[in-house]
Amino acid sequence: AALGGSGVGVLLSARCCDPLYRKSLRVSMGHALKVPFAVCEDLPALMPSLHEQGFVSLALTPDAGAEPLSLHANGEIDRSVLCFGAEGPGLTERLMQAVSHRVCIPMASNVDSLNIAVAAAVTMYACLEPSRSEPDTHE
């Protein structure tokens, strides 16, 4: 999904899976090699520096107090950091405290959450789509 936008990179926590692991490469059909990535030992500590450089950070969470993603995915954010957690535990509270906004993808009341791949794809599309200047050529 990260290849769908321009200027996209992936910042991984030290606890994240290896993007160059052979199964990761296989299921991504090799596309994992096309997305720049870096591993950060302490993501919450990095957030203030990113904010000072003009980035807005959005943490995806199913928490009831989160704002709808649509409030922030409107093309007004030029530089965004999208934070996704593991499907079970989610993001750490320390990282949640360090981000600019806690956001959610609104869903029907009988659905708890989306899996991480779907949530990431929906979020990246929502954040990138309003800023696209070229018309869609797909039918």
Q: Which sequence spans correspond to the domains of the chain?
A: 7-41, 44-132
Q: What is the pLDDT of residue 111?
A: 78
| pTM of full prediction above 0.95 | no
Give the domain 44-132 fold. Alpha/beta knot (3.40.1280)
Residue 16: its pLDDT value, please? 82
**Predicted pLDDT at 24:** 81
Q: What pLDDT shows up at residue 48?
A: 96
Distance CA(104)–CA(115), nearest Å, equals: 13
Full pLDDT tens readout for the chain, 139 residues? 454 555 577 888 888 878 888 888 888 888 778 888 888 999 999 999 999 999 899 999 988 889 998 887 766 567 888 898 887 788 999 999 999 999 998 888 877 778 888 888 888 888 776 554 455 554 4
Give bridge partners of residue 45 from the DSSP assignment: none
Instruction: Decide the pairing of beta strands 67-68 and 37-40.
Output: unpaired
Residues 104 and 62: beta-carbon distance below 8 Å: yes
List the one residue out of 41, 50, 38 whose CA is nearest residue 98.
Answer: 50
Tell me what pLDDT residue 44 has. Answer: 94
Strand partners, 52: none
127, containing H or E segment: helix 116-128
- CA 87 centroid distance within chain: 13
HSE-CB of 41 using CA atoms within 13 angstroms: 0
